[in-house]
Amino acid sequence: MKNNIHLLAGTYATGKENGIYVIRFNQNNGEYENIGKTEVDDPSYFVLSNDRKFVYSVLENEGSPSYVNAFSYNKNKEELDQKDSILSGDNGSCYITIDKDDKYVITANYGGGSISVFRIDKNGLFYKMSQLIVFEGQSVDPERQTRPHIHCVEFSPDGRYLLASDLGTDKIYQIEIDQECDECGREFIIKETIRNIKVPDGSGPRHIKFHPSGQYFYVINELSDTIITFSYNKGEILQLQEMPVVTNNARGSADVVITPDGRFLYASVRLKEDGIAIFSINSTNGILDRIDYQITGTHPRNLQITPNGKFLLAACRDSSCIEIYEIKKDTGILENINNDIQITEPACLKFI
């Protein structure tokens, strides 16, 4: 049926509960059916190729060498099949993204304070790690910011830059992508860091999300529980706003998502009064206005919105469930439909 799509859910679970689950999800009414899973250790974050033929996950493995895994995705059989695995080049790989041409995957390595670049072939397999970029520095928090901790990497919508958030140094790195790389065999795509965008001391920038228009992006800060709005115009970046996600000193702000129509933004908070802060987005300038707060299960680590914009799903890791909320179209308010998907320690959600 046209309303049925696939939801992939990665976990922090170990043993027989580990892996990436495939779930048939009806984006019209929120009903679902568990199809199966592919067993793989600690798939705490993953990304889909743009052609939807492959999935790439990190094996975080904090304190030890991390891995990147490649899977093929068979829509008709409704299953993933692991095809390849490679060392990430550093430890604590916690985030992964892919370029617009499906030729490179890039990981954010929290433990090592670095990013790794991997070439992939037309069959979705890894050639090798082609670049490892290690950052330096620290910030003011004596426990969390003694060294770099790269938490997220995202390409700009025009593909010209990679943005990397460094929780450990309170910086967003704007990294130039080599647009002529096809002529050199695409061995290296990262050219140089052209700008270090400093956020307030002790912020701990975590995740980056671009607005559907491509004119703005938002950075959620884990340690200060704030969100910063930036404008983006052909590589020019300006800060427009900083505002609190919560004011209870949770130090656990985690993820940020935006409705497909660009009208509402949702930010998850863990560690204290766990929930989701709801904001409206000004269509003229991208500025946020807080409108509500929805209490959730414990540790809402990752959020996803259905392609039609009707439902928001929250991966509540420590409640071992994925909560399903209907988004009220006119107000952005969330309503729990009380139809949780029971999965041990869900950590990452993606729709196909």
Give exposure, 130-143, as e/b (b: 16+ Cβ within 10 Å). bbbbebeeebebee
If you count them, how many residues does the chain have? Answer: 352
- Whether residue 84 is contained in a domain is answered as yes
- Whether residue 104 is contained in a domain is answered as yes
- In this prediction, residue 15 has a pLDDT band, given cuts at 50, 70 and 90, of confident
pLDDT, average across residues 320-343: 98
Encoded tokens for 13: 């679970």
For residues 112 and 293, what is the distance between their CA atoms, to the nearest angstrom? 34
- 186 is in which domain, residue-wise? 4-250
pLDDT of 127 over the 70 cut? yes
User: Judging by beta carbons within 10 Å of its beta carbon (0-12, 13-18, 19+), is residue 323 exposed, middle or buried?
Assistant: buried
Identify the CA nearest to 121 among candidates 105, 139, 100.
Answer: 105
- In this prediction, residue 186 has a pLDDT band, given cuts at 50, 70 and 90, of low
More confident residue, 269 or 17: 269
Phi first, then psi: give them for residue 148, nearest 5 degrees.
Answer: -65, 145
pLDDT, average across residues 261-268: 98
- Whether residue 277 is contained in a domain is answered as no
pLDDT, average across residues 148-165: 97
Radius of gyration of the chain (CA): 19
CA angle 50, 1, 322 (to 5 degrees): 65
CB 96 within 8 A of CB 107: yes
pLDDT of 185 over the 70 cut? no
**Residues ≥6 apart with Cβ < 8 Å to 16:** none
Q: Given its phi and psi angles, is residue 232 left (phi above 0), alpha (psi -120 to 50 degrees) or beta? A: beta
pLDDT of 120 over the 70 cut? yes
- Whether residue 142 is contained in a domain is answered as yes
Per DSSP, the three-state class of 319 is helix
For residues 60 and 110, what is the distance between their CA atoms, to the nearest angstrom? 9
Matching residue, tokens 């592919």: 38
- Whether residue 141 is contained in a domain is answered as yes
Whole-number mean pLDDT of the chain?
Answer: 94
CA angle 148, 196, 203 (to 5 degrees): 55
pLDDT, average across residues 260-266: 98
For residues 109 and 69, what is the distance between their CA atoms, to the nearest angstrom? 15
Q: What is the pLDDT, as a whole number, of residue 281?
A: 98
- In this prediction, residue 13 has a pLDDT band, given cuts at 50, 70 and 90, of confident
Matching residue, tokens 């559907």: 212
pLDDT, average across residues 203-224: 98
| Domain count of the fold of the chain | 1
2-16, 140-154, 309-323: least confidently modelled range: 2-16
Q: What is the pLDDT, as a whole number, of residue 193?
A: 81
CA angle 17, 20, 23 (to 5 degrees): 100
- Whether residue 255 is contained in a domain is answered as no
Encoded tokens for 305: 């919105």
pLDDT of 138 over the 70 cut? yes
Phi first, then psi: give them for residue 10, nearest 5 degrees.
Answer: -90, 160
CA angle 126, 127, 133 (to 5 degrees): 90
Cα 131 vs. chain centroid, distance in angstroms?
A: 21
pLDDT of 181 over the 80 cut? no
- Whether residue 338 is contained in a domain is answered as no
- Whether residue 295 is contained in a domain is answered as no
For residues 85 and 91, what is the distance between their CA atoms, to the nearest angstrom? 15
CATH number of domain containing 65: 2.130.10.10
- Concatenated DSSP letters of 85-107: EEEEEEE-EEEEEE-TTSSEEEE
By DSSP bridging, strand 4-11 and strand 346-351 are: antiparallel
